[in-house]
A = this chain, B = another copy of it.
C-alpha cells in the first residue's frame, strides 16, 4: 500500500537483524523525513563500507587497511593472543582497557546446530598467528558453541605447538550477579573455579 520507493527501502531494512515489518516501516519513514544531505551520507557510507572493510590478514579482525590497527601496534604484546568470535568482542574487550596483547578473530564458531564445521573457519590463519606466541587465551562465549569451539581449538593448538600456554577465560558469577538468580551451569562453574582469597 506504500509507494514503491518506500516499500523498496522497507525491504532493505528488513535484512537487518531483529528488524520486523513495523520497525522497518518506522525506519523508512524516518528516512523520508531526513534531509537530503543525511540520506546521501547514509547511502555513501554503505557503499564506502563495502568497498573498504575486510578482514585483517593477520588476525581476522575487521579493518579498512591490510593489517588492523591492533596488529599494526608495535606497543602491544604480540606473543599473547586472545581468541574471540567476532570484531564486536574485540571492541567489548578493548573497552575494558585491561588487555594489551593482540587478538585473533574467528569470524564464527564451530556449531553443530548451525552446521558450522571446523573446516568452515580459517584455522590456518590462527595457527600461523599462534606460531610465535607464548599464550593463547580462548575467549569464545560460554555458550555451547563457544565451549565446543574453545575445546576444539585448545586441542588443535596443543597438538600443533606443544609448548604453547593455552588458557580459557574464567566462567563464573557476573559482577552484581545474585546467587539465587544464577543458572546451575554458572553456579557449578563458579564453584569449581573458586580461588583462594589472600
Contact = CB atoms under 8 A, between A and B. Distances in A.
A43 B8 CA distance: 11
Nearest to A68: B3
Given A15-B38, A45-B12, A53 B88 contact: no
Interface string A33-70: 01010111111111111111100000000111100110
Taking the full assembly, how many copies of this chain does it contain?
Answer: 2
A30 B94 CA distance: 21
Given A15-B38, A16-B27, A31-B49, A6 B62 contact: yes
A12 B28 contact: no
Contacts of A8: 45, 48-49
**Leading 7 A-B pairs by shortest Cβ distance:** A43-B43, A3-B64, A43-B46, A5-B49, A12-B42, A39-B50, A5-B52
